[in-house]
Amino acid sequence: MNNRELFLQHVAQTSDAPMALEMVSAEGIYQKDIHGKTYVDLIAGFSVCNIGHSHPRVIEAINKQVRDYMHLIVYGEFIEAPQVRYAKMLCDLLPEHLNSVFFTNSGAEAVEGAMKLAKRVTGRPNIICFDKSYHGSTQGALSLIGEEYFRQNFRPLLPGIYHYTYNSPEVIEAINEDTACVIMETVQAEAGIVAPDPDWIMAVRDKCTATGTLLVLDEIQAGFGRTGHLFAFQGYGIEPDILLLAKALGGGMPLGAFIADRHLMQQLTFNPVLGHISTFAGHPVSCAAGMAALEVLLEGNYIKEVRQKEAILKSRLRHPAIKAMRTAGLWACLEFKDFDTNKKVIAGCIEAGLIADWFLFNPRGLRIGPPLIITEEALEEVCDKILSAIDAAHIEG
């Protein structure tokens, strides 16, 4: 059997139509498959590879840490320098009250930890979240997912979860003294890059403050420069009580985190003791890789260049078949008339050497989110190939 056959037979499948491309290497903005074909990665591992693939600084940090030590003991017991240094670096970049980091293995685990923390701190039963939101697939995170199609066959899920339309005024009235937290993506990713109205997100923040409700911002996809700010909330003049990070946090290695004020986080240490623990969370190799990646991101001009690259997407990607376009920095959704049309365009992109995909809650939308290191010249070429793929699909406007 070849690897494709083994993949389909022995690796648990998440859909009946996987891309099933067999990659053998990845560097910078490029991936290469088993046949030697090179692709530009327009997904960046779903915002994991913001500084591209296989950056030498990240590889060096991984190799050094592997030589020193890997797993030692359950997270939180030993003082492990990669965890300590990375937590300090993150806190130095965040508002003063976001000063305590609980590392996790993934974004979904960060969501779970934040839900527990909010209930523990407030003593309240209810959580407000949003339609077309995505926070992970574990039982708690699944309870938050913003579409019943994905929830229906796994019930019963958590009680006390209330979904509202993103950007709707109704949610402001719904936040009350029974609400433990509001969990929201600062920019909705899987809805197809839906940004908040600035006045609305400020009103959510104000109502949370007035009612003692914790505001949890999920920047698992939106963080680390993707929107043109290091953290997306910095573009809206608000600050969360709990911040959720993952994906780019690990520089290509598995890592997540929820970050809050120390006096909040300490409530997980008593009644019960070990209120939240994990064996592999904050793995020292992942922390070393993530810190190296963040250093590369901050030392370069990549975040400053995001707005100009966004402008290239907005000016170049014009076609009668594109029914709508939304951007949030170097992150875009091109909407077509239906899913079948989008699939044809994506197939054309892949044929042309572009890794593209759709959005979980917006199958009409083509996802564009390349590594932030992509040059303007390469981005211009990408736009040309996307337009050619649309033309080749013979789509009527």
**Which tens digits make up the pLDDT trace of 232-254?**
999 999 999 999 999 999 999 99
**Which tens digits make up the pLDDT trace of 12-55?**
777 777 777 888 999 999 999 999 999 999 999 999 999 999 99
Q: Are residues 192 and 311 in the same domain?
A: no
Own/partner long-range contacts of 338-345 (Cβ < 8 Å, ≥24 apart): 338/364, 339/363, 339/364, 341/393, 341/395, 342/366, 344/393, 344/395, 345/321, 345/386, 345/389, 345/390, 345/393, 345/395
191 and 361 Cβ atoms separated by less than 8 Å:
yes
Q: Are residues 316 and 359 in the same domain?
A: yes
Q: What is the CATH number of the domain that holds 9?
A: 3.90.1150.10
290 and 86 Cβ atoms separated by less than 8 Å:
yes
Nearest to 97 by CA among 238, 272, 283: 238
CA distance 342 to 242: 36
- CA atoms within 13 Å, Cβ hemisphere of 147: 13
Q: Is residue 397 part of a domain?
A: no
223 and 30 Cβ atoms separated by less than 8 Å:
no
**Which tens digits make up the pLDDT trace of 60-118?**
999 999 999 999 998 989 999 999 999 999 999 999 999 999 999 999 999 999 999 99
Q: Are residues 274 and 382 in the same domain?
A: no
Q: Are residues 250 and 273 in the same domain?
A: yes
Q: Are residues 257 and 120 in the same domain?
A: yes
200 and 167 Cβ atoms separated by less than 8 Å:
yes
Q: Are residues 50 and 61 in the same domain?
A: no
Q: Which of 299, 328, 344 is the last residue of a domain?
A: 299
Q: Which of 299, 330, 363 is the last residue of a domain?
A: 299
**Which tens digits make up the pLDDT trace of 291-318?**
999 999 999 999 999 999 999 999 999 9
**Which tens digits make up the pLDDT trace of 193-238?**
999 999 999 999 999 999 999 999 999 999 999 999 999 999 999 9
304 and 316 Cβ atoms separated by less than 8 Å:
no
Q: Are residues 88 and 163 in the same domain?
A: yes
Beta bridge partners of 87: none
Question: Pairing relation of β-strands 179-185 and 126-130?
Answer: parallel
**What percent of the chain stands above pLDDT 90?**
91
Q: What is the CATH number of the domain that holds 208?
A: 3.40.640.10
pLDDT of residue 396: 57
Nearest to 251 by CA among 212, 214, 295: 295
Q: Is the confidence at residue 397, as pLDDT, over 60?
A: no
Q: Domain of 115?
A: 56-299
